[in-house]
Amino acid sequence: MRSEPVPPSRFGLGQSVRRVEDQRFLTGHGRFVDDFQFAGQVHAQVLRSPHAHAEIRGIDVTAATELSGVVAVLTGDELAADGIAVIPPGATAQNRDGSDMFVPPRPALAQGRVRHVGEPVAVVVAESIEIARDATELIEVDYETLPAVTDTGSAMDPGAPQLYEGAPRNQCLDWEKGDRAATEAAFAAAAHVSSLELVNSRVVVNPVEPRACIGLWDADGGSFTLYNSGQAAHNVARTLATAVFQLPMERLRVISPDVGGGFGTKNFIYPEQVLVLWAARRLGRPVRWTAQRTEGFLSDTQGRDHVMRAELALDGDGRFLALRIVTTANIGAYVSTFGAMIPTNPVAVVLGGTYDIPAVHYHVREVLTNTVPVDAYRGAGRPEAAYAIERLVDLAAAELGLDPVALRRRNFIRPKAMPYKTAMGSVLDCGEFARVLDRALGQADAAGFAARRAESERRGRLRGLGVASYFEATLGPPNERSAVRFEEDGTVTILVGTMSNGQGHETTYAQILHQRLGLPFEAIRFVQGDTGAIPSGFGHGGSRSMQIGGNALLLAADLIEEKAKRIAAHHFEAQEADIELASGACRVVGTDLAVDLMDLAKIARDPSRLPEGMAPGLDAAGDYAREATTFPNGAHIAEVEIEPETGVVHLRAYHVVDDFGTVLNPMITMGQVHGGVAQGIGQALMEHTVYEGETGQLLSGSFMDYCVPRADDMPTLEVAFEAVPTKTNALGVKGCGEAGCIGALPAVINAVVDALKPLGIRHIDMPATPERVWRAIRAATSGD
């Protein structure tokens, strides 16, 4: 930052400023989509397929239509007749041979065939939600069921049921990155190869706020408004307008008010958004839809679901020579918005991790199955990579009889090697991986682990210490515009294209502006998530908001400072060079002449008080384009105790040291780590998405059967920051939203495997439920 920073303020950067948004969240005044009401509104209920795979022979809606209070019953036939186009993916990829991947059409209502349990088949719109629900039960659908395939590993088997003619063996993409020949040569010459088959298990995301949307149609203006519980207002508006409804984008406004958690799954284009808009236009009335929890399980995009073969080649000194990963990624029945993209580059970009590995090759095949579509979930590709790498390193250490920490240290990319270009082409500008790991080991009292293990053994328990050195790259669209508007009531509004759904942006952006210009923190307001108020934006994802939106705000502040100084110079009849900005005021250096920015904003509205030719207003917008990817990294250390009789894993301690670069608000950042780790622990130990093989039914389809972590499942987390600020952006931030989730998967499983290692167990797949652990122990000890 160029100008003199304001003196340390309790609202400045680096301070744990209490969150501005909490006032409304704590008092029940947060406003989420379902909290909005509209005159004349009607309620939509979606009839969903009970079958994983079936032909629709016919749909009889007569009885449903006749039910009193029903306004409309719509099926795929009406959708097609009205010319509503299919929902396109937001990103696709090319096959290895250069051809385009296979993308099946995805209409908002099934046409002819259903391909997963929960797929929308019809929508009922009625005067009340109860009537709409009753009416869906009156719709008769004649299904001819077909064999279903849900399992990732066997989806490409020759005999597996086929979802699409255009996707032989259910494969829709065959993608690779890296130098295959160099990698194979390195493997051929290796002194040792460690090899592991592993599953990165499927997760049901389950934000506590169910997805919800309300469609409004303005017949006079011929335009839509969509209230959407989402993470990316502009992307949703753009796709729905231009691709689905074939309208100019400005005729479809998307408003995302407070959003109750997203973690990726609320980023995307969903059939229900199309349905409420389409129905609103047909009926001329506001149409609202809120998912029941069960519908969330059956229709919110799910996460992960990779089956991987991961191999690491080492030389005789334990140095890493090459990494090779072959993945089958299950993307579900349709290609969701970023569903096809996530298993490609977002995995590849971090392959190699914090290690100096000369050759890396990644090969992924994506399969379509009779399951809910899979898309980005916290970390999106990077947890899959980090998990594979960090499991492999532990395995290699075990196979070679080396200390896993020493093996990591031996292979870390050294600080003096920066900037370092990885085998996958990522350029790291900074990172001190050994320093971060050492601090974590100290924090976790790793030196005392042997004594703790001995003590556990005396009680008949198995104790394990799991270390993970995670490596992340922040992703998401590289551009953002942040604007600042001085209001006539004396407040200042920040307008951003990013989208907080729990990350406290209202507070952190205000801290940035307050710190940079000295504007009073209390006077700062915040607007996000409204395409009608904000001209462009790319929403939330890839831990990008502060890096892109925050730096854009700094650019806006630069423009404000520049203009303010010119106006102040004019005002005081002084030289511009003699004006300084400090503590929110422009003053003439060496005098007591000063005018604060709020007053300058008033002056700036009056053209007669401005220098010749200057446009009125102090408002400004900063456009930032990412100059370089940032690489958050850190070390997670999990310590577990396992009861061999039951297989129950107790997390006894959990330590994190993160390098997020500059930390803007430690309290909020710590909260991001906590939440991410909790989700990682959930996936590693308890969250189990189970599809019944033959029927394709989601067996774990409620909170009763799908185990989301509760308060007593969480260990005490100790989190510290070891900042190595990046110079690739002015804020020095690297991103923090996904990191907790990325480090936790390998740390927890490495700890579990470390505890089980004395029994000869070399790996256990997630989730390491008591049953799985017990079975592994039993198999290892009884020889069956």
Cα separation of 626 and 544, whole Å? 10
Q: Give residue 90's Cα distance to chain centre.
A: 15
Residues numbered 722 to 741 that lie near another protein (CB under 8 A) are: 740
Q: Does 457 bind another protein (CB under 8 A)?
A: no
The phi, psi pair for 462, rounded to 5°, reads -100, 130
Q: Min. distance of Cβ 508 from another protein in angstroms? A: 13
- Residue number with CB closer to another protein (197 or 645): 645
Q: Which of residues 740-759 bind another protein (CB under 8 A)?
A: 740
Q: Which is nearer to another protein, 122 or 132 (CB)?
A: 132
Would you say 263 and 377 are in contact if contact means Cβ atoms under 8 Å apart? yes
Q: Closest approach of Cβ 719 to another protein, in Å?
A: 10
* Binding of residue 44 to another protein (CB under 8 A): no
Among 107, 120, 260, 622, indicate the residue that binds another protein (CB under 8 A). Answer: 260
Residue for token digits 């307001």?
525
Interface positions, 651-670, toward another protein (CB under 8 A): 667-668, 670
Under rule CB under 8 A, residue 127 binds another protein: no
Q: Which residue reads 């006894």 in tokens?
A: 652
Give least dist CB 671 to another protein, A. 5
Answer for which of 225, 411, 501, 531 binds another protein (CB under 8 A) is: 501
Task: Decide if residue 712 touches another protein (CB under 8 A).
Answer: yes
Residue 209 or 659 having the CB closest to another protein = 209
By the rule CB under 8 A, 645 interacts with another protein: yes
Q: Residue 24, interface with another protein (CB under 8 A)?
A: yes
Minimum distance from residue 277 beta carbon to another protein (Å):
23
**Residue 525 CB, nearest distance to another protein (Å)?**
18
If one asks whether residue 694 binds another protein (CB under 8 A), the answer comes out as no
Q: Which window, 20-28, 90-98, 356-364, 527-535, contacts another protein (CB under 8 A)?
A: 20-28
d(CA 479, CA 625): 4
Size of the site for another protein (CB under 8 A): 70
Count of C-beta atoms within a 10 Å radius of residue 66: 11
Tell me the closest approach of the beta carbon of residue 32 to another protein, in angstroms.
6
Residue 759: count other Cβ atoms within 10 Å of its Cβ: 14
φ/ψ of residue 86, rounded to 5: -70, 160
Q: b/e per residue, 672-701, with b = 16+ CB within 10 A? A: bbbbbbbbbbbbbbbbbbebeeebbbbebb
In this structure, how many other beta carbons lie within 10 angstroms of the beta carbon of residue 400? 15
- 21 touches another protein by CB under 8 A: yes
User: Interaction with another protein in 201-240: which residues (CB under 8 A)?
Assistant: 206-210
Of these, 39, 98, 401, 716, which contacts another protein (CB under 8 A)?
Answer: 716
Closer residue to another protein in complex, CB, 41/195: 41
- Token digits of residue 81: 């007749």
Residue 58: Cβ-neighbour burial (10 angstroms; 0-12, 13-18, 19+): exposed
**In angstroms, how far apart are the furthest CA atoms of the chain?**
91
705 binds another protein, rule: CB under 8 A: yes
Question: Cβ(317)–Cβ(80) under 8 Å?
Answer: no
Beta strands at 359-367 and 320-330: parallel, antiparallel or unpaired: parallel
Reduced to 3 states (helix: H, G, I; strand: E, B; else coil), residue 587 is: strand
Part in contact with another protein (CB under 8 A); list of ranges 153-161, 436-444, 464-472, 497-505: 497-505
Q: Which stretch binds another protein (CB under 8 A): 78-86, 352-360, 508-516, 701-709?
A: 701-709
Look at the chain and count its residues: 784
Q: List the one residue from 86, 714, 720, 780 that touches another protein (CB under 8 A).
A: 714
Please work out, in degrees rounded to the nearest 5, the angle formed at the alpha carbon of residue 461 by the alpha carbons of 458 and 465.
110
Residue of 293, 414, 727, 775 interacting with another protein (CB under 8 A): 293
Among 292, 536, 575, 781, binds another protein (CB under 8 A): 292
Residue 686 within binding range of another protein, rule CB under 8 A: yes
Measured CA to CA, the distance from residue 766 to residue 649 in angstroms comes to: 12
Contact range with another protein by CB under 8 A, out of 21-29, 426-434, 515-523, 613-621:
21-29
Closest CA to 660 of 474, 385, 515: 474
- Select from 4, 5, 29, 284 the one that contacts another protein (CB under 8 A): 29
Using the rule CB under 8 A, give the single segment among 216-224, 232-240, 255-263, 556-564 that binds another protein: 255-263
Instruction: Report if residue 778 touches another protein, rule: CB under 8 A.
Output: no
* Interatomic CA distance for residues 418 and 10, integer angstroms: 35
Only segment of 194-202, 289-297, 726-734, 774-782 that touches another protein (CB under 8 A): 289-297
DSSP bridge partners of 633: 471, 659
Structure token pair of residue 646: 């039951």
Burial bucket for residue 171 (CB in 10 Å: 0-12, 13-18, 19+): middle
How far is residue 31's CA from residue 260's CA, in Å, rounded to a whole number? 10
Alpha helices in 501-606 (DSSP H): 505-517, 551-572, 597-604
Q: Which of 778, 740, 743 is nearest to 759 (CA)?
A: 778
Q: Are 423 and 179 in contact (CB under 8 A)?
A: yes
Q: Environment class of residue 246 by beta-carbon count within 10 Å: exposed (0-12), middle (13-18) or buried (19+)?
A: exposed
**Minimal distance in Å, beta carbon 382 to another protein?**
19
Position 422, amino acid: T
Give the dihedral of Cα atoms 181, 186, 187, 189; nearest 10 deg: 130
- In the complex, least distance from residue 221 CB atom to another protein, rounded to whole angstroms: 29
- What is the DSSP annotation of 17-28? PPPTTHHHHHTT
Q: How far is the CB of 495 from another protein (least distance, A)?
A: 21
SS3 category, 770: helix
Name the minimum Å distance from CB 535 to another protein. Answer: 26
Selected binder of another protein within 469, 629, 679, 683 (CB under 8 A): 679
Residue from the set 137, 457, 562, 627 that interacts with another protein by CB under 8 A:
137
Question: Which of 82, 646, 694, 781 is the binder for another protein (CB under 8 A)?
Answer: 646
Q: Is 263 in the site for another protein (CB under 8 A)?
A: yes
Q: Does 303 bind another protein (CB under 8 A)?
A: no
Would you count residue 35 as binding another protein (CB under 8 A)? yes
Under the binding rule (CB under 8 A), the answer on residue 589 touching another protein is no
Q: Which of 123, 275, 657, 678 binds another protein (CB under 8 A)?
A: 678
d(C-alpha 675, C-alpha 350), whole Å: 22
> Which of these ranges, 299-307, 312-320, 592-600, 644-652, lies near another protein under the rule CB under 8 A?
644-652
CB 489, min distance to another protein, A: 20
Binding site for another protein (CB under 8 A): 18-19, 21-32, 34-35, 37, 130, 133-134, 137, 206-210, 258-261, 263, 290, 292-294, 459, 501-504, 643, 645-646, 648, 667-668, 670-671, 674-679, 686, 699, 702-705, 707-712, 714, 716-717, 740
